[in-house]
Structure 1
Amino acid sequence: MTKDQKDNLFLLVKSLTKSEKRQFKLYVGRLDVNQDSKFLNLFNFLDKASSYDEASILKTKIVKKQQLANVKAHLYKQILISLKLNPSHQNVRSQIREQLDFASILYHKGLYRQSLKILDKAKDLAILNEEKNLAFEIVELEKIIEAQFITRSISTRADELTIQAKDISSLNVLTSKLSNLSLQLYSIILRTGYVKSEEESKEVTAYFKARLPNYKINDLGFREKLWLYNANLWYSFLLQDFKNCYKYALKWVELFDEYPKMIQLNPVFFLKGNNYLLESLLFIRNKPKFVNTLSKFKQIVEDRTFPKDENVKTLAFLYFNFHDINKHFIDGSFEEGLELIPKIEKNLIKYQNGIDAHHKMIFYYKFASLHFGAGNNKECITYLNKIISNKSLSMREDLLCFSRVLNLVAHYEAGLDYNLDTLLRSTYKFLIKMNDLHEVQKEMIKFIKGLQDIYPHELKNAFIKLHATLKTYEDHPFERRAFLYLDIISWLESKIENKPVGEIIKTKYLKSMSS
């Protein structure tokens, strides 16, 4: 039975670089007994295979069916051990863990002084690099050793370790509370998107305030501040408070300026901080600062000193391309943005194992929006269908909803009105089911439904009337979220003034920049 790249071992083998494969063979080859082993032969077979096919493995007689599961498990473990030994996967965090392992071995051999000496150095390294969980683990082992073997080298040793354990533990508890809060807020925005009502806003605010721990900013180190800014950022995003989003995303990024060594140890957080900073700049429509931030971000990440594992490469691909597209939404340069699509689609295949369905669908929504802005409505519908037809899709509810609303508008624009009634009914039902039928969506559906009864010479007045209605919601704290996904007001203005929507958005942008 073919599992086509769903097998964990196969995916691991295919993720290895040439140097990692070479090191693995050197690692297992250090023992002559491994030269013709089943697990090494299986590795060589999987390395050459284009997909995982169990039947093909058994045909080679490398391994019997009843042995396959055990051989695969052993091979998986050996690859991980080899990767752990690879210098490219070594960092301060792994060095501290290694020293902790060495100290534990020495302790169990009764070599207490040697163990304590290693632990003391490892603890200093952990604290210096903000690895407070490891620092706490080290202090706890020091306490165990001191309880069994009194060094008497420092008369206040017990008090010193107790105070140290208490201080590190309190910071770890604070970090845990902040990271839990951040994760829960992130889960809410992934599930439902921005708050949709006063009731939801109050619920999120109460949730945030009840779980935000007390702290003194001057007592916090890198790690505690990172999670503090993270939690505040997600809270601000949920409330569509984009100025505060910018404030906390900027604090997040500037934290790495204050602790530059942390980039090497936490490259993913560096990438994410810059991503959210760019998202904030998109929403407050500051293109000069957006372009400057994106350029600086790329320059740092593309530098040869920046850590680059597969995870980092995938995230960099996502964020660079999301924001390369986003800059065209700020000033309406949709035609220019279309040039990005073929290259991104090609690379989506390259990164398919690292990109989840949610992020892939975000790309499709952005592609659809670019085509809609450029007037290519049929191409817009093609990408929206990839989202709408995916019944097993797990992504933000608001993106699912606005994909359907944009689909309605694109069908109208493309003149594909033969099944508009069916589309209207299915969109209406979907929005009701998702509890996302708010005033802007209601007005849009009512307008498109009524278009079928309007004479051509009455169209302009109908657009003007809808425009006047929707303008009242443009600054509404909960209704304005609709315009973040679909600039329907600029579309209406393009119909009223008989100009391309990109030209309308560009004029607005230039006017806002001049003022």
Structure 2
Amino acid sequence: MTKDHKDNLFSLIKSLTKSEKRQFKLYVGRLDVNQDSKFLNLFNFLDKASSYDEGAILKTAIVKKQQLANVKAHLYKQILISLKLNPSHQNIRSQIREQLDFASILYHKGLYKQSLKILDKSKEVAIQNEEKNLAYEIVELEKIIESQYITRSISTRADELAIQAKELSSLNVIASKLSNLSLQLYSFILKTGYVKNETESKLVTDYFVEHLPKYNIQDLGFREKLWLYNANLWYAFLMQDFLNCFKYASKWVKLFREYPNMIQLNPVFFLKGHNYLLEALFYIQNKSKFQDALIQFQITTAEKRFPKDENVQALTFLYLNLNSINLYFIDGSFEDGLKIIPKIESELNHYLNRLDIHHRMIFYYKFASMHFGAGNNKDCIFYLNKIISNKSLLMREDLQCFARVLNLVAHYEAGLDYHIETLLRSTYKFLLKINDLYEVQKEMIKFIRGLQDIYPQDIKSAFIKLHQKLKVYEDHPYERRAFLYLDIISWLESKIENKPVGQIIRDKYQLKVAGL
């Protein structure tokens, strides 16, 4: 029975670094009785295995079948305890929790004064580091102890703790509501992408307004502001309001400059903020600011003091490389961009188990679009097939839609029209199934279907007519989303002017820079 990487214990063991494995064995070896234990023997076997094979485990006689589940559970727990003791996994949060545990032990032993002393210091650290949930938990324990041990040294102690608990609770409620709102908006964009019509726009706007809590910006700390900017940014992305995306992403990045100690404690949010800033700059086509932000991002993440755990490394890879690709799309320098694909694809294989399927599909779409822009249509089709063959319709339906539309165009460009009718039918059927058939897509499908009936001398006129039809949608609040995934207008202009699509985009960019 082979589960290959899907078994939780096996995945955990394979995620361990050499130093973590060494520490685990030292941790287990502190007791002589563990030297030949079943769970340690199982660890050594799985560490050497290339895949999880339950049958192979049982053949070794390390453990009987009826014992395997319990031994695996025990081994899993022991690995986590060992990791918890590793300095690389200890941070302010874990230190505060540890002190809270110590205080709780002292309290249960009746050593109230010692417990209160630890809690007071821990609370100060928690508040300084924006760990307000932990700070609230500490205050609640302080209240319990004070109710049994009155020092009489501070007559207003009860009032102080009550006020502090109320303030922390209020901020925790705001942070919770903002984080809930942000998460829900993020799920909207993962499920369906940008809003497609007035109905969706009203639905998202009403949801945002209804769930945005009342607040006074002066009362908010780092954590509350972070969630506030996060929620506003996702709302702006859904509405394709990229100037507001830039506004809130900039606030997000600036927040970390105001609280530099938060980078170590919240590296993931630091990375995400920079990524959203780069995305916004990409969509508003500001190459100079994009390059500056990308360079600053590269410098910061390369610093020795920047956190380097597995999750941070995977996200750093993801954001640096997606944005490195986007740099070439701004001015259409696709041929130059092709040079970085092999390196990224090679490194992508290393991170396959750490990146979700949605982000892997985005890489493939970027690769496909880069090849399409460079005129390599068969390579474009190769990467699009990786997306189209993915059956998870809940994952980025918008990406699935435009992959199919680009696939049609690439097949036409590559001269692979012997089964274009089948592709047209399957694409049309897919778009109808998920209710994502809009004017730009309708016109594209209608055009490609009619190409076989157009005489060669009339092809250019047909491209001109389609260009005129689609041009009116370029600034349409909902139809313009099509052009964020596939620059159909530039492709049509390349056919009309008989120039490479990359050259068309470069010429447009130069005109924009010149202010014409």
TM-score, normalised to structure 1's length? Answer: 0.99
**1:406 corresponding residue in structure 2:** 406
- 2:210 matches 1:216: no
**2:503 corresponding residue in structure 1:** 503
**2:354 corresponding residue in structure 1:** 354
Deviations 1:132-174, CA, capped at 9 Å, x for gaps: 0000000000011111111212100000000000000000000
**1:436 corresponding residue in structure 2:** 436
**1:40 corresponding residue in structure 2:** 40
Q: Which amino acid aligns with 1:326?
A: N
**2:300 corresponding residue in structure 1:** 300
Report the alpha carbon displacement of residue 193 of structure 1 after superposing the two structures with TM: 0.4
Q: Which amino acid aligns with 1:351?
A: Y
CA RMSD of aligned residues (A): 0.8
Deviations 1:368-394, CA, capped at 9 Å, x for gaps: 100100001111111111111122354
**1:121 corresponding residue in structure 2:** 121
* Residues in 1 aligned to 2:393 and 2:359: alpha-carbon distance in whole angstroms: 11
Contact 1:408 1:420 in 2 (8 A): yes
* Residues in 1 aligned to 2:46 and 2:193: alpha-carbon distance in whole angstroms: 42
* Residues in 2 aligned to 1:479 and 1:394: alpha-carbon distance in whole angstroms: 22
**1:62 corresponding residue in structure 2:** 62
3-state SS in 1 of match to 2:513: helix
Question: In terms of mean alpha carbon deviation, does 276-285 or 50-59 score higher?
Answer: 50-59
**1:382 corresponding residue in structure 2:** 382
Question: In terms of mean alpha carbon deviation, does 379-388 or 158-167 score higher?
Answer: 379-388
* Residues in 2 aligned to 1:203 and 1:501: alpha-carbon distance in whole angstroms: 37
Q: Which amino acid aligns with 1:427?
A: T
Report the alpha carbon displacement of residue 514 of structure 1 after superposing the two structures with TM: 1.6
**1:97 corresponding residue in structure 2:** 97
**2:420 corresponding residue in structure 1:** 420
Counting only pairs closer than 5 Å after superposition, residues 176-255 of structure 1 correspond to structure 2 as 176-255=176-255
3-state SS in 2 of match to 1:320: helix
* Residues in 1 aligned to 2:32 and 2:274: alpha-carbon distance in whole angstroms: 49
Deviations 1:339-373, CA, capped at 9 Å, x for gaps: 12211221122111111111111111111100100
Deviations 1:183-234, CA, capped at 9 Å, x for gaps: 0000001101000111211111111111111111111100000000000000
* Residues in 2 aligned to 1:337 and 1:108: alpha-carbon distance in whole angstroms: 64
**1:464 corresponding residue in structure 2:** 464
**2:269 corresponding residue in structure 1:** 269
Question: In terms of mean alpha carbon deviation, does 63-72 or 79-88 score higher?
Answer: 63-72
3-state SS in 2 of match to 1:152: coil
3-state SS in 2 of match to 1:340: helix
- 2:86 matches 1:86: yes
3-state SS in 1 of match to 2:2: coil
Q: Which amino acid aligns with 2:138?
A: I
3-state SS in 1 of match to 2:223: helix
* Residues in 2 aligned to 1:393 and 1:348: alpha-carbon distance in whole angstroms: 23
* Residues in 1 aligned to 2:4 and 2:238: alpha-carbon distance in whole angstroms: 39
3-state SS in 2 of match to 1:398: helix
* Residues in 2 aligned to 1:154 and 1:483: alpha-carbon distance in whole angstroms: 66
Q: Which amino acid aligns with 2:339?
A: E
- 2:452 matches 1:452: yes
* Residues in 2 aligned to 1:258 and 1:297: alpha-carbon distance in whole angstroms: 17
Deviations 1:423-465, CA, capped at 9 Å, x for gaps: 1111111111111111111111111111111001101111111
**1:169 corresponding residue in structure 2:** 169
Q: Which runs of 4+ in 1 moved over 6 A?
A: none
Q: Which amino acid aligns with 2:184?
A: Q
**1:141 corresponding residue in structure 2:** 141
Q: Which amino acid aligns with 1:69?
A: A
3-state SS in 2 of match to 1:173: helix
Deviations 1:79-112, CA, capped at 9 Å, x for gaps: 1000000000111111000000000000000000
3-state SS in 2 of match to 1:361: helix
**2:309 corresponding residue in structure 1:** 309
Contact 1:278 1:294 in 2 (8 A): yes
* Residues in 1 aligned to 2:40 and 2:514: alpha-carbon distance in whole angstroms: 66
* Residues in 1 aligned to 2:431 and 2:156: alpha-carbon distance in whole angstroms: 67
TM-score, normalised to structure 2's length? Answer: 0.99
* Residues in 2 aligned to 1:393 and 1:381: alpha-carbon distance in whole angstroms: 20
3-state SS in 1 of match to 2:328: helix
* Residues in 2 aligned to 1:391 and 1:162: alpha-carbon distance in whole angstroms: 54
